[in-house]
Amino acid sequence: MRVVALVPGGIGDQLLFFPTLDALKQNYPDAEIDVVVEPQAKAAYRVSKSVNDVLTFDFKDRNSPADWANLLGVLRDRDYEAVISSSRDWGTKLLLWLTGIPTRVGYAGSGGGFFLTNSVTLKPDQPTVHQYYDLLQVLGVTAPCPELDIRLPKADQDWADAERKRLGVNGYVLIYGGNEQLSPGLVTSYPIESWQKIIQDFQQKQPELPLVLLQSPENTEFVAALTQANPGIKVTKPTDPGKMGAMIAGANLMLCTESAPMYLAVALQVYTLALFGATNPDQQLPKTDKFLGIQSTTGKLADISPEQVLQKVWGG
């Protein structure tokens, strides 16, 4: 059995889709599972346990007919028996129909449902991971949704051991401040001034506990500004989700915004306090004592006060 999943979105979206892929593999252990994702999200599958091959396609780009034709040709040539799509886009559903793949699963609504062989009703009030998992209903998968889980390559674990040695840390608090700006008007970083107050409070109350900033390609300017204001703070710069996950795995606590690093922390069962803007934390975080979300009452991250964060850190 050969199955392909089309999963638009960033690394965080891919991580949330992992339980669906893992459950598919558990129910069909001999299945070959491929995914089609955007180029910037391909790195997520470095830590996947269930995927054979990763194909890339820029769903958000203004693709020419030739681009769509190339993807169509690839999907046809691989003789897939089933395709699962998390996209609700009408054009993507048309593409699935043109592939001739016998079983085509996607969400009902948004037009183009007649191009699918099986439609699933999207339940927006559910956690995102369960919204994805519902796509497997029509494939006979009825077991409870598995927890988000990842596989850290040994090379990445070794890199993290060397990195911790370089930084001179063992237990530590890892801070991910967010991306500067994903798109015009969508700011996903928490203000530097607020992080400064949180860092200073930690340094006063737990001076022996190292604080480490997690730098990604998207937040280099943010990290530079925060380290300039706090010269003694340490910085780690993992180059892919595997190394990032290995550094997260060694943390006592993860302080972050809603982000791909947050989902890695969830998968690794690391104590996490995450800040949310408009998103409801209940849709993104498992309901356990290890994961706590603070949602802004205004939908803006900047309106979460440092005092709110510190109260959750020290007061529970």
Using a pLDDT cut of 90, give the percent of the chain over it.
82
Closest CA to 195 of 244, 160, 230, 221: 230
Q: What value does the mean pLDDT take over residues 268-276?
A: 97
Spatial distance between the Cα atoms of 254 and 242, rounded to a whole number of angstroms: 16
Which tens digit of pLDDT belongs to each residue from 73-112?
999 999 999 999 999 888 899 999 999 999 999 999 877 7
| Sheet strand arrangement including 211-214 | 234-236, 211-214, 173-176, 253-257, 272-276, 291-295
- The pLDDT of residue 302: 93
Neighbours of 172 (CB within 10 A): 20
The answer to whether 50 and 24 have CB atoms below 8 angstroms apart is yes
Q: Which domains does the chain have, with CATH numbers?
A: 2-139 (3.40.50.2000), 154-315 (3.40.50.2000)
- The pLDDT of residue 160: 98
Spatial distance between the Cα atoms of 44 and 54, rounded to a whole number of angstroms: 10
Which tens digit of pLDDT belongs to each residue from 144-179?
999 999 999 999 999 999 999 999 999 999 999 987
Strand ranges (E), the chain: 2-6, 32-37, 53-56, 82-85, 103-107, 118-120, 173-176, 211-214, 234-236, 253-257, 272-276, 291-295
Which tens digit of pLDDT belongs to each residue from 178-226?
875 444 444 568 999 999 999 999 999 999 999 999 999 888 988 998 9
Torsion over CA: 115, 116, 120, 123 (sign): negative
pLDDT band per the 50, 70, 90 thresholds, residue 136? very high
Spatial distance between the Cα atoms of 73 and 52, rounded to a whole number of angstroms: 19
Indicate if the pLDDT at residue 240 is higher than 80. yes
- The pLDDT of residue 180: 56
